[in-house]
Amino acid sequence: MSPAVKKDKVKTDKAQESIAMAKSGKVKMVDFKFIDLPGTWQHVSIPANQLKDQFEEGHGFDASSIRGFAHIHESDMLLMPDAMTAVMDPVCKIPTLSIICDVAEPLTGERYKRDPRHIAQKAEAFVKSSGIADSAYFGPELEFFVFDSVSFDQNQHSGYYFVDSEEGIWNSGNMDGPNMGHRPRNKEGYFPVPPTDSLQDLRSEMVLKLIETGIECEIHHHEVATAGQGEIGMKFSTLTTMADKVMMYKYILKNVAHEHGKTVTFMPKPLYGDNGTGMHVHQSLGKAGENLFYDAKGYAKLSQTAMYYIGGLLAHSSALLALTSPSTNSYRRLVPGYEAPVNLVYSARNRSAAIRVPVCQKSPKAKRIEYRPPDATCNPYLAFSAMLMAGLDGIKRKIDPGEPHDMDLFELSKEELKGIKTVPGSLEQALNNLEADHDFLMRGDVFTKDMIETWLDYKRTKENDAIRLRPHPFEYFLYYDC
């Protein structure tokens, strides 16, 4: 039996298993989840007894109401459930089977070209067709904040935000009630024990919920910032599967926090004056069970293939960030002084470089590189695919990444920093760079011209211009009395 036939059989068996569960009465509802273009999960639910032909025929929906999808005259689309993603929903009170869906055209049955999950699947197919590797592995580290409350508004005559956390250092002087005083100071949240780390049990509950869905977790801890910054580490996986897990991760964390009267955000820079939130992405390539990034004699035990991959990431970073750090808020994080990886160089162990080479693990299978500029405002299907395509381009063109920078880049003088390229300073710059440099993404028809143009238009009009045209509250402080 060929691998493709075997995979189809497993998928068919999984579909039949899901239908059997629905008929058994153990499942009351079935929830179809899919992702919009910016990167947010959408969903629709059906009674379990209606799960009959959807695996073959799909479930219709109005794509014109989904951000970045179809126009009104081409709104009908199909959700095609992927049986391999079926799990019991870990947060629903009613027994619910959760299934991630692909999006397809109703007339032809072909995959919808703007479906981000389709792009990720095409990227994985391109790896195999290239002959370079047969697998691409990704291990993102998603950081987040847990706040106790958040309020915000923006209109014609006012604009504000207010966030609060019992753990925030600014509450040290709170006289409204008992004040226990144990709070992480700015930049000192990595990582004291409870009671200073007030969210130990909450993160543990999040981990257990993730494990319920089959997501293997390796670690959780408080992060550097005050006010509830944390991280839960997931084990790496292949590209599309890892993107699926990222979406489930965000879904579970938000809902567990909500259940406890708290709120989770993955914004890169929700607080002024303390560390921001990133999504460092570990990645490697494999072929026939071998890690292509390992060489015992190479720099930090990296192979030449890995070095070229790094070269591709660095060469295309100015454009990549339009997909991996795609919000205006991303560039409030990507500034010097807050452990942000703004310098487009690589290094073993050095967290001030855009690419770090972890050296703690000795196994050849664990050798990987860590790309540090991304954050969780990205669409993971698009971000992982874009990073992979940049790395493959580096391998194909044998792009030399230059010499490593094994010093603290934040301590260099202005004169010493002149020769070091840095990340774009704004979303607008990143979008312009993507417009000028995207051919590497279109190889193998992984990204299409329509997809890139749609992304650029959406980000420019709905986000960048929307921020650019509004007065900032701090401008009143600076200029009101001019």
Containing H/E element for 153? Answer: strand 149-154
Lowest mean per-residue pLDDT among 104-118, 289-303, 348-362, 433-447: 348-362
Q: 195-242 pLDDT, tens per residue?
A: 999 999 999 999 999 999 999 999 999 999 999 999 999 999 999 999
Domain boundaries, given as residue ranges, for the chain: 16-112, 135-479
pLDDT grade, residue 4 (50/70/90)? low
Is residue 48 exposed (0-12), middle (13-18) or buried (19+ Cβ within 10 Å)?
A: buried
Task: Judge contact between 393 and 305, C-beta under 8 A.
Answer: no
Task: Judge contact between 265 and 152, C-beta under 8 A.
Answer: no
* Whether 460 is catalytic: no
Q: What is the pLDDT of residue 352?
A: 79
* Whether 405 is catalytic: no
Q: Measured over all CA atoms, what is the biggest interatomic distance in the chain, rounded to whole angstroms? A: 77
d(CA 188, CA 185): 5
Is residue 64 exposed (0-12), middle (13-18) or buried (19+ Cβ within 10 Å)?
A: middle
Q: What is the pLDDT of residue 36?
A: 97
d(CA 100, CA 270): 30
Q: What is the pLDDT of residue 71?
A: 78
Residue closest to 68 by CA, chosen among 408, 463, 434: 463
CA dihedral 230, 235, 238, 240 (to 10 degrees): -40
* Whether 231 is catalytic: yes
pLDDT grade, residue 370 (50/70/90)? very high
* Whether 280 is catalytic: yes
- Could you say which of 372, 375, 393, 405 is catalytic? 372
CATH superfamily of 135-479: Glutamine synthetase/guanido kinase, catalytic domain (3.30.590.10)
| Across 110-126, average pLDDT | 97
Q: What is the pLDDT of residue 411?
A: 73
pLDDT grade, residue 375 (50/70/90)? very high
* Whether 203 is catalytic: no
pLDDT grade, residue 7 (50/70/90)? low
Res. 5: pLDDT tops 60: no
Q: What is the pLDDT of residue 468?
A: 94
Question: Radius of gyration over alpha carbons of the chain, in Å?
Answer: 23
* Whether 259 is catalytic: no
- Could you say which of 36, 102, 167, 231 is catalytic? 231
Res. 72: pLDDT tops 80: no
- Could you say which of 141, 244, 274, 463 is catalytic? 141
Q: What is the pLDDT of residue 2?
A: 55
* Whether 356 is catalytic: no
Share of the chain above pLDDT 70, in %: 97
Domain 16-112 belongs to what topology?
A: Ubiquitin-like (UB roll) (3.10.20)
- Could you say which of 62, 110, 259, 290 is catalytic? 62
